[in-house]
Structure 1
Amino acid sequence: MAKPTGRMRHWARALKLLWNVSPPHVGAVVLTTVLTALVPACTVQFTKLAVEAVAGSTGEDTMDAALAAAGGLAALIAVSHLLSTARTYLETLLQYRMANSIQEQIMRKSVSLELAQFEDPGTYDSLQRANREASFRPYQIFSNLISVTSNLVALVSVGVVLVVWDPWVALVVVLAPVPSMAANIFYSRLGWRIENDRASDRRRGTYLQYLVTTDRTFKETRLFDLGGLFVERFTKLVKGFYAVDRRLEGRQAVASGLLGLLSVAASAGAIVFAAKVTVENGQAGQFAGFIIAITMVQSSVQTLFGALAQMYEHSLFIGNLFAFLDLPVAGVRAIGKRRFPEKLVTGIEFRDVSFTYPGSAAPVFEGLHLFLPAGRCVALVGQNGAGKTTLVKLLARFYEPDSGAILIDGVPIEEYDLDDLRRNLGVIFQDFVQYEASVRENVGFGRHEQLGDDAGILDAVKQSGASKFVDHLPGGLETQLGKWFDDGRQLSGGQWQRVALARAFLRKAAIVVLDEPTASIDAQAESEVFGRLREIAGQATTLLIAHRFSTVRVADHIVVIDHGRVLEEGTHGELMRLDGVYAKLFNLQAAGYLEECDISLR
């Protein structure tokens, strides 16, 4: 069970988050709350005076007293209404700002995390929990605290009146709701445990929703008739959630209902006692005030204890938000200050590099030795899982080697400024992003500080061959791509790939990495793209990862990797004469092309 000090820290942190959003706004809410809380005590006094005046003897003075008391009650009603309206308005605006601020903090935290954390299911569970609590939990703690403050002020101000009349009645009415509050706290903690345990299933439900609600998955899910299956799986999940929640809510309702009868009995007893006292002393005004005071005290106590129970519940759930915001950023082992060269002179060396993914027992590399000469186009060839893409992740410092060193122009990679290193990497991964944004942004995101550079963006578009279709789009660079937003134009797979290539070309990076850069384009377009790649290779060191040997053969240097080891390397001609793994794979692929050609000629 969480320690009280831990809960207090959560409350304090949530209030600090809220205060930082807008101190004047928070102060205004507190002020209107305190003023509203003073109204009940005034209402009790004016009610007592009004009833006594009406019940008294007739006369001009009595009439004046009754009208004055009635006028006071009317004024209190008006003031209460205005304060309540102002408080609601301020609270609503503050809640909006708080939710926006928390979402921004979640996004900023996500940006700071490393790839290893995003490839860990635990991080996604933490993010799922944080997102579920972000929109309302922090504000609810403040709202409950305001409710506690308001009802505490009302309880003290009205309770003083009640204590003066009879302290024992006041004590019984105040303590009667405690058992019910204890039950609510118990079930709140139980609900928190259940919700935490189902975080992974919640993510699965969100994923199933995604599969049937986006254009990215439409074709396959519709063609394979998967929509009904995914909906059934989602329904099974949420029905399971509901069954558990229903049992929990049912047990909580029974416990709260039975224990709540203690509060009802205490109030009933207090009213009977008040009636008895009134009969004895004949003070009708005091009886009316006594009944109102009992009702208000009971209401304030129940609301007060209910708010405290909810604060406890929110402190449990908001811990999920803070757990995500407090995730340690693994970061890289060392970040140097050295500027990255605009153009490599020597090249890139992987010296005795070993690496195993976190949580995996199988190493990707064990003592890898590889040299990529500067100013050349180097192709990596190998079966899936050989470690080709992992090399890129290590080069971008998304992961750190377990041992060995990566040197760029003879300098350990750790000595370079990390941001400068990544600015000089132009990488297009095989699973590149198709941004639901304009052409300008899809290309300009390659170097976002150049989003307004029309000449640079158009040049990159031309280099990638994308100008052939971009020039014909209705809005040119401003054309919205994708179908998620209004007036969007969907591109073919090959066109999206050209846009991604333009994004890489815009960076004008010292190192260009292309992971299957022509997988979605035809042979003629592939020839054009690689003609441009050879031009770029004169200015940048290009690393090419591909399975098409028509792609690979244009490289200046080819490296064959298998199970994290370099098997062969050389030019296309040298490797063919070697008649090893590369030659075998090349001939197998060439035979397939020849067979297809023969069939088509028949």
Structure 2
Amino acid sequence: MKKKYLVFRRMIFDMFRISPGMTTLYCLFDVLHAGGYILVMLCTEKLFDSVPLLAAGSPLSVSLRPLLFLIMATVFFEIANSLSNFHIEHLSPKILSHFYKRIYIKASHISPIDYERPEFLDMLNKALQGVEYGFFASSLILMVFTFYVPYFILLGVYLQHISPILILIVLLIFTPVILGQVIRFRLFSEAEDAIAPIRRATDYYEQVVCNRKFFKETRILGIVNHFMQLYQDGVILINQKTLTAEKKHIRIDAALRLFTIGGYIGILLMLVNSLIQKVISPGAFSAVFASVNMMYALAEEMVTMFSGQITQYAVSIQNYHSFIDLPENAKEEGSFDKTKGITLDNVHFSYPNTQTETIRGISLKIQPGETVAIVGENGAGKSTLAKLMLGLYVPDRGTVRIGGLDSEKVASRCIYQNCAAVFQDYQHYLTTLEENITISSNNSCYNMLVRLNHVCERAKLLVNSDSFPQGFSTMLSREFGGVDLSGGQWQRIAIARGIFREHDIIVLDEPTSAIDPIEESLMYQNFKEISEGKTAIIITHRLGAARIADRIIVLKDGIIDDIGTHEELINKGGVYSEMYRTQAQWYE
């Protein structure tokens, strides 16, 4: 239990660290808000005690003064409440943006292979859910200790001042309320663990149905209803698991409501008896009696909040901190040596939760400045091998050295900052054309426009007023008032983005599938020229494009089947020769 609530302490400390002034003011006004309640009760007591005196002939000022104080106390109470709400509303965006930034930074430090693990994706999903829930719950914790606790402490002091026996009112209020909430955390902790993977799946189904990038295929192939059904089934399952937990809680809570009624009756009897025994004045009776409903409401609100919402969301904030606390490999720094190329020594690799190795015992040396093509059938391991050569993945066994740096031992950024890549699943960034290309830059550029034009020319991207009305400032998204592009144009932009980045190693992973063969051939010839002196790796299914390579690596079932130039491999009559002849038939 203690460990569970330590997560809130940590987030609350973060709130004070991020915005100490605003958070302190929020707490201060909460305390003043609590004091306002008791001040109103005290003024109400004085006002009711003055009424008999007024009836006995005392001047009107006897009642006017407590009435004026009551009005002032009420105004004070409302102002404190408004200021408290104002500060928490303005505090929320600042704190939330900081917590989300921490997740994004943490995610950027996680090994790319972890994104292939369903358990990691579930953890990331739960961490993102935990940000808002965690902040909300931490704010409630602050409210408990800066509003509710001061309120009941001041209430106890007030009741003690009237009559010590009235202190039992607080006990009668809290006992049934606390008993009704003690098991809520366990119920919702179990539910959240079960719901997280289902919620991630339903989020994906919702994207497939609603997201713009899916609509052509889902409509033409008539598969919207399939994903709609999966989405609805997921939502139903989430609701069922949530409802099961709620039902258990409601059954217990309903039975304990009877104790609440008994406590309420006990308070009324105690007040009436104290009034008859002249232990309390009529004003005190009226003030306390009028506030009993408020006491119950605040007590129930506080305990329900603490053991209900707060304990429920404690699970979410634990998920957030579990993600933030994930271990990061403390890798050493290193200097990239572009004269050393890429070396693989008996490399084995398999994806998480699979029994089959995708790469099996590959040893290979790529010389600096060499252009290498990797070919093979689907599933041969081409893209996986490229990711190993870029340091995105590290081998299960064996060693990959990139620019002399061991990818398993050296910090990834030391490798990444010298590499560029264009993947087959390149991204359509909903930004301007200029941003889409220059976003990859790892160095400042003084002649940006000159370099942009040069890179676009190399990538065969025609930047004219027909396709790009505002030139490089054209927004590439109809969703944001811009333009839409063809698949070929997007591929050229992705290639331009890759070659715009300063690099010693570049990987092209099937980047030209939407470009016609003639344009593709010209582009690869152009690529050969601009990669002069660079280490270039081309992954392609079109074997004609592989002819520009100094060497061609033929992969089959995760191993190197053959290596050589185009002519050498054709003359050998192996897998490459067979694949080449098969493709050539389509052009005869």
Matched, 1:48 2:48: no
| Aligned counterpart, 1:422 | 416
CA contact (8 A) 1:351 1:369 kept: yes
| Aligned counterpart, 2:285 | 287
Q: Of residues 350, 373, 377 in structure 1, which corresponds to 2:367?
A: 373
Structure 2 Cα separation of the partners of residues 158 and 365 of structure 1: 71
List aligned pairs for 1:155-194, cutoff 5 A: 155-194=152-191
Which secondary structure state, in structure 2, belongs to the residue aligned with residue 260 of structure 1? helix
Matched, 1:149 2:133: no
| Aligned counterpart, 2:113 | 116
| Aligned counterpart, 1:303 | 301
Q: Which runs of 5+ in 2 are unaligned?
A: none
Q: Of residues 542, 558, 568 in structure 2, which corresponds to 1:564?
A: 558
List aligned pairs for 1:503-542, cutoff 5 A: 503-542=497-536
Which secondary structure state, in structure 2, belongs to the residue aligned with residue 502 of structure 1? helix
Q: Of residues 127, 131, 144 in structure 2, which corresponds to 1:130?
A: 127
Which secondary structure state, in structure 2, belongs to the residue aligned with residue 37 of structure 1? helix
Structure 2 Cα separation of the partners of residues 162 and 240 of structure 1: 50
Q: Of residues 311, 335, 339 in structure 2, which corresponds to 1:338?
A: 335
CA contact (8 A) 1:557 1:572 kept: yes
For residue 471 of structure 2, what is the amino acid of its counterpart? Answer: G
Change in 2 beyond 3 A, CA 1:297/1:527: closer
List aligned pairs for 1:570-581, cutoff 5 A: 570-581=564-575
For residue 171 of structure 2, what is the amino acid of its counterpart? Answer: V
Which secondary structure state, in structure 2, belongs to the residue aligned with residue 490 of structure 1? coil
Which secondary structure state, in structure 2, belongs to the residue aligned with residue 593 of structure 1? coil
| Aligned counterpart, 1:473 | 468
CA contact (8 A) 1:438 1:481 kept: yes
Q: Indicate the RMSD between aligned Cα atoms, in angstroms.
A: 2.5
CA contact (8 A) 1:174 1:298 kept: no
Structure 2 Cα separation of the partners of residues 254 and 446 of structure 1: 58
Matched, 1:446 2:440: yes
Q: Which runs of 5+ in 1 are unaligned?
A: 595-602
Structure 2 Cα separation of the partners of residues 170 and 159 of structure 1: 6
Structure 2 Cα separation of the partners of residues 24 and 218 of structure 1: 48
Matched, 1:92 2:89: yes
TM superposition shift of 1:243: 3.2
Structure 2 Cα separation of the partners of residues 390 and 272 of structure 1: 78
Structure 1 Cα separation of the partners of residues 233 and 401 of structure 2: 53
Equivalent residues, number? 585
CA contact (8 A) 2:133 2:313 kept: no
Matched, 1:314 2:313: yes
List aligned pairs for 1:218-297, cutoff 5 A: 218-281=215-278, 283-292=281-290, 294-297=292-295
Change in 2 beyond 3 A, CA 1:512/1:277: closer
Change in 2 beyond 3 A, CA 1:212/1:299: closer
| Aligned counterpart, 2:485 | 491
Structure 2 Cα separation of the partners of residues 250 and 415 of structure 1: 52
- Which is worse superposed, 296-305 or 75-84? 296-305
Structure 1 Cα separation of the partners of residues 118 and 233 of structure 2: 22
Structure 2 Cα separation of the partners of residues 538 and 148 of structure 1: 67
| Aligned counterpart, 2:452 | 457
Change in 2 beyond 3 A, CA 1:172/1:87: closer
For residue 591 of structure 1, what is the amino acid of its counterpart? Answer: Q
Query: What is the TM-score normalised by the length of structure 2?
Result: 0.93
CA contact (8 A) 1:180 1:255 kept: no
For residue 502 of structure 1, what is the amino acid of its counterpart? Answer: A
Query: What whole-Å deviation, never above 9, does each CA across 1:232-276 have from its counterpart, x for those lacking one?
Result: 221222123223333433442343233133233222222233223
TM superposition shift of 1:127: 1.5
Change in 2 beyond 3 A, CA 1:542/1:469: farther
| Aligned counterpart, 2:348 | 354
CA contact (8 A) 1:158 1:293 kept: no
TM superposition shift of 1:414: 6.6
Query: What whole-Å deviation, never above 9, does each CA across 1:128-163 have from its counterpart, x for those lacking one?
Result: 112222124223322233234322222222223323
Which secondary structure state, in structure 1, belongs to the residue aligned with residue 482 of structure 2? coil
Query: What whole-Å deviation, never above 9, does each CA across 1:500-550 have from its counterpart, x for those lacking one?
Result: 111111124211211113211002211220221221232212111111121
CA contact (8 A) 1:378 1:542 kept: yes
Structure 1 Cα separation of the partners of residues 214 and 379 of structure 2: 25
TM superposition shift of 1:169: 4.4
| Aligned counterpart, 1:598 | none
CA contact (8 A) 2:172 2:264 kept: no
Matched, 1:73 2:76: no
CA contact (8 A) 2:421 2:498 kept: yes
For residue 320 of structure 2, what is the amino acid of its counterpart? Answer: L
TM superposition shift of 1:179: 3.6
| Aligned counterpart, 1:323 | 322
- Which is worse superposed, 313-322 or 458-467? 313-322
Query: What whole-Å deviation, never above 9, does each CA across 1:203-254 have from its counterpart, x for those lacking one?
Result: 1110011001112100010011122222222122212322333343344234
CA contact (8 A) 1:497 1:518 kept: yes
TM superposition shift of 1:575: 1.5
Q: Of residues 99, 102, 108 in structure 2, which corresponds to 1:102?
A: 99
Structure 2 Cα separation of the partners of residues 295 and 567 of structure 1: 82
Change in 2 beyond 3 A, CA 1:556/1:286: closer
Structure 1 Cα separation of the partners of residues 270 and 344 of structure 2: 89
Query: What whole-Å deviation, never above 9, does each CA across 1:347-378 have from its counterpart, x for those lacking one?
Result: 43323323333433222333322222332321
Change in 2 beyond 3 A, CA 1:469/1:284: same
Q: Which runs of 4+ in 1 moved over 6 A?
A: 414-417
Structure 1 Cα separation of the partners of residues 165 and 341 of structure 2: 88
TM superposition shift of 1:289: 3.0
Change in 2 beyond 3 A, CA 1:359/1:248: closer
Q: Of residues 381, 386, 390 in structure 1, which corresponds to 2:380?
A: 386
| Aligned counterpart, 1:406 | 400
Structure 1 Cα separation of the partners of residues 471 and 301 of structure 2: 60
Which secondary structure state, in structure 1, belongs to the residue aligned with residue 555 of structure 2? strand
Change in 2 beyond 3 A, CA 1:249/1:364: closer
TM superposition shift of 1:174: 2.0
Which secondary structure state, in structure 2, belongs to the residue aligned with residue 56 of structure 1? helix
- Which is worse superposed, 307-316 or 429-438? 307-316
TM superposition shift of 1:462: 0.9
